[in-house]
Chains A and B, each alone.
Chain A
Amino acid sequence: MSPVAVTAVAPLAQSGPVIPNFGRGDDCIRNNGKFCLHWFLDNFDERFLPRVGEHLKMTAIAVVLGFVIAFAAALVAHRHARFKLPFANVASLFYTIPSIAFFVPITGLTLTTAEIGLIGYTLLILVRNTVTGLDGVPEEVREAARGMGFKPMHQLLRIDLPLAVPAIIAGLRVATVTTISLATIAAFITPLGLGAPIFNAIQSGANTEFVGASLLAIALALVADMAIVLLQRAVTPWARARRPST
């Protein structure tokens, strides 16, 4: 009985308003609700948007550099079959190493360390898919190209690569999605990207912050996945044109 009396009396002793201002989702954030939309939206520009930008930048660097390396390696492997096995083994070695091991700060707590890990991860997927795509060109098609007088370089550019595009883009798709996913873990060593609020907020227990960042990371991965599917449709119009006739 007495605690009730005390709490009932206490507000009277204060000069401020008796009923606190619960507007703008304050109640939710004060009780550390699972996900406070108001707070998320209010802080979006300041807390989340820069992280999304960093995340995209980290992903783009890794996928672009990974693709350049993998593409060069795949062309060499395509031309000289004896390189195929060593390349495949090195790439799969990278992939078997646990993600978190890549981010052990041996080369310092920098973006470079994170990027090395991310690029390593993209290599296997991109090398394998590019080689698979180039090797998948039917022998009859190659023979026809040679019969039409295509030089090797010409044949690579005009025949092999266009036919390998679906496989290459499928690899790009898996690589991009995987990189977005892994880039959250990269925040373990350098506070960049959407992983940073996740790691920070898990420690401080601020639900909305890490749930919001997680939802953004998931959305980013799904949107990127869909964007690449659309890209694939755009760059391989023949794949669609052929469908009705078959």
Chain B
Amino acid sequence: MSDLVNFYGDNSGLLLEKTLAHLGIGAIAIAVALLLALPLGVVLGHRHAGAFLAINTSNVFRALPSLALIAISLALFGLSLLNVEIALVALAIPPILTNSYTAVDGVDPDAVEAARGMGMTDRQVLTRVELPLAWPLIFAGIRTAAVYVVATAPLAAIAGGGGLGDIILNQPTYRLAGVIGATIVVVVLAFAVDGLLGRVQRAVTPRGLRPARQLQTLVPAGTDTAVAAEAAASAEKV
């Protein structure tokens, strides 16, 4: 225990530096995953088409072991940040894609019809009706993805590094105290990201939708809804 306190005392600068690097690696992965998955999910959901594509892409990505992805890209590209980002983007895509598709696809058809009846163009229906209504669920997916990424980023140390994994996977240098100490930082970071994004999620939820079901606001809504969406989607598909 005192080892742990000593570790924090002696290495606060290093920990801060690694924590910032960790968040940076995660932020890049989330940004890339958003660029790839969000437009695809939203467009497919808007057209109510391509459920097969959206759900199965997610399933395939979900099946890819992160460590295996890092190892393969290590052989292909050598030691670099690229390896890690490939694995983390693959990890972040399924929740974002599944949730954005399910959310937009599931918008109440009556609301969409009413919007069309009011003379809204297709684009207006998407941006003024579907997206605001779908946003909480979409954001839940982003939140899940962010937690996954922060929690998995320590593996980055295997393939070129950066982040807290440099300490966690280097027991010879930092001893058990360092490994446990850095791991605790990762756990706290994951909870902090989850909590913070949970607040943002509530803030971006349209006021009319806010008295959400009690259960969903108390558990990480993303995992819950992503799994529920998964359940619904695969039950429907088979």
Contact = CB atoms under 8 A, between A and B. Distances in A.
A98 B183 contact: yes
B151 A133 contact: no
Interface residues of B, number: 51
B84 interface: no
A221 B69 CA distance: 12
B90 to A, nearest CB: 10
B64 interface: yes
Contact of A132 (B63, B64, B231): B231
B126 interface: no
Contacts of B68: 181, 184, 194, 198, 213-215, 217-218
Given A34-B76, A166-B235, A218 B151 contact: no
A113 interface: no
Given A89-B219, A100-B154, A180-B65, A173 B234 contact: yes
A82 interface: no
A104 interface: yes
A interface majority secondary structure: helix
Contacts of B214: 85
A229 interface: yes
Interface string A170-199: 110110011011101100100000110011
Given A171-B227, A173-B234, A85 B218 contact: yes
A52 B26 CA distance: 31
A97 B63 contact: no
A233 interface: yes
Most buried by A among B165, B214, B238: B238
B133 interface: no
Contact of B71 (A129, A177, A213): A213
Contact of B72 (A84, A124, A215): A215
Given A98-B190, A100-B186, A174-B227, A214 B72 contact: yes
Contacts of B130: none
B238 A202 contact: no
Given A97-B187, A98-B187, A170 B215 contact: no
Contacts of B93: none
B65 A229 contact: no
B228 to A, nearest CB: 5
Given A128-B228, A225-B59, A217 B67 contact: yes
At the interface, is chain B mostly helix, strand, loop or mixed? helix
Nearest to A225: B63
A236 interface: yes
A133 B194 CA distance: 26
Interface string B154-187: 1100110000010011000000100110011011
B230 interface: yes
Interface string B199-238: 0000000000000001100111001100110111011001
Contacts of B99: none
B102 interface: no
A37 B214 CA distance: 54
Contacts of A229: 234, 238
A125 B64 contact: no
B118 interface: no
B135 interface: no
A177 B62 contact: yes
B104 interface: no
Contact of A211 (B71, B230, B232): B71
B47 to A, nearest CB: 21
A65 interface: no
A101 interface: yes
A166 B230 CA distance: 11
A240 interface: yes
Given A85-B218, A129-B231, A167-B232, 13 more contacts: A100-B186, A101-B183, A104-B183, A106-B180, A178-B62, A181-B67, A213-B71, A214-B71, A218-B68, A221-B63, A232-B238, A233-B238, A239-B235
8 contacts: A104-B183, A128-B228, A181-B67, A214-B65, A214-B71, A215-B68, A218-B69, A240-B238
Interface of A: 34-35, 84-85, 88-89, 91-92, 95-101, 104-106, 124-125, 128-129, 132-133, 166-167, 170-171, 173-174, 177-178, 180-182, 184-185, 188, 194-195, 198-199, 202, 207, 210-211, 213-215, 217-218, 221-222, 224-225, 229, 232-233, 236, 239-240
